[in-house]
Amino acid sequence: MKTYAMMILGCKVNDYEAAYVRENMNRHFEEVSFKDKADIYLIFTCCVTNMAEAKTRKFIHSARRRNNDAYVVAIGCLSQIKSDTEVFADVDLIIGSDDKDKIVDLILSNAHLNNVHKKLDDSFEHLFIESYETKSRSFLKVQDGCNQFCSYCIIPFARGRERSGDHHKLLEEARVLARKNKEIVLTGIHTGRYNDGEYDLYALLKDLCEIDGLETIRLSSIEITEINDQIIDLMAHNDKLARHLHIPVQSLDDRVLKAMNRPYTVDEYKDRIAYIRDQIKDISISTDLIVGFPGESDACFSNTLNNIRDIGFSFIHIFPYSRKSSTAADKMDGHLDERIKKQRLKVVEALQSVYTKKYHDRFKGRKVRVLVEKHNNGFSYGYSREYIYTRIDGELNIGDIYDVVIDDTTTEVCGHVAE
């Protein structure tokens, strides 16, 4: 049997689409590690940062180095926007942001072509997954595309316009996934904009809560303008919804937010966070933050630091601004030196570590629900519903959810199964 290897870069949407391709590849081929010699290499690409593009180049070259005769496939966002560039000169099959359901058939026919469509289909591509390779959580892609056009972001060009899945199909897929996985993560490029006619994200969450066997429903990311009171109320009163919201802010300075074309002010963001916390006790609120955006002065950066202190996120994903052609930000004045970006990133990391520790400390001596994902050296590891990575005494069943008492938060969060 021929072998294949897969490398996945980027976001949870890529994880979902890769899971679909893996499920279908396994019917015809045997998977091996990307570090091994394989007959076929599949690389799910990302275009959000320059680092992601550099990694794509690296993995294409490493695939050829391991087996020069291998069949190499590049898939996803970077493929969509740069399919006709030298980045993919040594690739046999190039797939963009649609036709994921055709990948295996194209591989089986030994197709050598650039299959990228410059005009993406406006319909949602349903990729029905029956089971996940992991025994813990599964992902459910409910939405694709973005209409926001933030000035720094290339994703609307790579993923196309907003579109949502048929809720009947999504609920059926969730029922199938729930037979093997107790936790489902809803994902999309703009998950909060899910809309199937009059059926919105709140309606989808409400119906997902009724599925037998599904114990935890998690949102991968949602914008502050899209968390309506119905969703907050449902999260406050239904134990199946994870007490964690990842709400990208990108900057906490109004001048920078305006230049980024973000649809809120700092005060509007902070007020909404305060309301959510008032309704849902001890909820984890995390965010994405870009440092070193064009024109981000010392004063702008200082405002961001002060507002991080005011809000106190549970954790922050921090990114240095990455210049992308075709975006409005690329043409702006005031681009910062890479050294300044790196310095600012380190400052935010150091500051945020204090607030992450404070959030973890709240749970010392208390009980949290943890989905076990792996074992190592006699311990079990997994994320709580507040998205706290926890080490648990003993080797527990992977994929099961346990009530865990937090014993220590000094260097890592540790606990034991509640009696």
236 lies in some domain: yes
Query: Which residues, at least 6 apart from 174, have a Cβ–Cβ distance to it below 8 Å?
Result: 140, 184, 208, 211, 214
User: Mean of the pLDDT values across residues 304-322?
Assistant: 97
With a cut of 90, say whether residue 391 has pLDDT above it: yes
Which is higher by pLDDT, 301 or 118? Answer: 301
Span 401-406, mean pLDDT? Answer: 97
Average pLDDT on 121-145 reads 88
Domain identity same for 140 and 47 = no
- Give the bridge partners for 287, in sequence order: 316
Give start and end residues of each alpha helix (H) in 135-265: 155-159, 167-177, 201-208, 229-237, 254-260
Residues in the chain: 419
Overall number of domains in the chain: 3
Arithmetic mean of pLDDT, 311-323: 97
Read off the amino acid at residue 139. F
Q: Do 81 and 7 belong together in one domain?
A: yes
Mean pLDDT of all residues in 14-22 = 94
Is 131 in the same domain as 237?
A: yes
CATH number for 196? 3.30.750.210
Which run of H or of E encompasses 276? helix 266-279
Report the Cα–Cα distance between both ends of the chain, in Å, rounded.
48
Are residues 132 and 104 located together in one domain of the fold? no
Residues 77 and 176 in one domain: no
| pLDDT band at residue 342 using 50, 70 and 90 as cut-offs | very high
Q: What is the mean pLDDT of residues 277-285?
A: 97
User: Band of the pLDDT at 136, cuts 50, 70, 90?
Assistant: confident
- Does residue 348 lie within any of the structural domains? no
Across 337-342, average pLDDT: 97
- Choose the final residue of a domain: 83, 114, 145: 114
Categorize the per-residue pLDDT at 50 as very low, low, confident or very high, splitting at 50, 70 and 90.
Answer: confident
Please check whether residues 127 and 84 belong to one and the same domain.
no
Please state the rounded mean pLDDT for residues 197-209. 97
Asked if pLDDT for residue 207 goes beyond 80, the answer is yes
Q: Is 214 within the bounds of a domain?
A: yes
Domain limits at 176? 122-242
Residue 11 is part of a domain; what is its CATH number? 3.40.50.12160
Is 68 a member of any domain? yes
Judged against a pLDDT cut of 90, whether residue 152 lies above it is answered with: yes
- Domain containing 405 — which CATH number? 2.40.50.140
User: pLDDT confidence of 326, banded at 50, 70, 90?
Assistant: confident
Same-domain pairing of 160 and 97? no
Separation in Å, CA 232 to CA 205, 244, 245, 264, 314: 11, 11, 10, 19, 18
Does 320 reside within a domain? no
Q: How far apart are CA 409 and CA 394, in angstroms?
A: 18
Q: What is the pLDDT of residue 121?
A: 80
Domain boundary among 242, 260, 281: 242
Q: Is the pLDDT at 380 greater than 90, yes or no?
A: yes
Average pLDDT over residues 292-312: 98
pLDDT tops 90 at residue 273: yes
Residue 82: predicted pLDDT: 94
At residue 116, the pLDDT reads: 92
Q: Does residue 11 sit within a domain?
A: yes
pLDDT for residue 263:
97
Among 52, 84, 114, residue at a domain's last position = 114
Q: What tokens were used for 88?
A: 């993919």
With pLDDT > 90 as the criterion, what percentage of the chain qualifies? 94
pTM to 2 decimal places: 0.94
Position 17 in a domain: yes
Largest CA distance in the chain: 61
CA-based R_g, the chain, Å: 22
132 and 179 housed in the same domain: yes
Do 98 and 149 belong together in one domain?
no
| Mean pLDDT for all residues in the chain | 96
- Report the C-alpha gap between 166 and 187 in whole angstroms: 14
390 phi and psi angles, rounded to 5 deg: -125, 135
How high is the pLDDT of residue 322?
94
Q: Would you say the C-alpha torsion 256, 262, 267, 269 has a positive or negative sign? A: negative
Rounded-to-integer distance, Cα 166 and Cα 163, Å: 10
* DSSP string of 48-103, one letter each residue: SSHHHHHHHHHHHHHHHHH-TT-EEEEEEHHHHHHTTSGGGTT-SEEE-SS-GGGH
Domain contains 275: no
Given a cut of 80, whether residue 96 has pLDDT beyond it is yes
- What is the mean pLDDT of the segment spanning 179-205? 96
In terms of domains, do 199 and 135 share one?
A: yes
Which pLDDT value is given to residue 325?
A: 87
- Specify whether 105 is located in the same domain as 137: no
Q: What is the pLDDT of residue 245?
A: 98
Same domain, 56 and 161: no
Which two structure tokens, joined as six digits, stand for 255? Answer: 């001048």
Distance in angstroms (rounded) separating the CA atoms of residues 314 and 151: 27
Phi–psi pair at 46, nearest 5 degrees: -135, 145
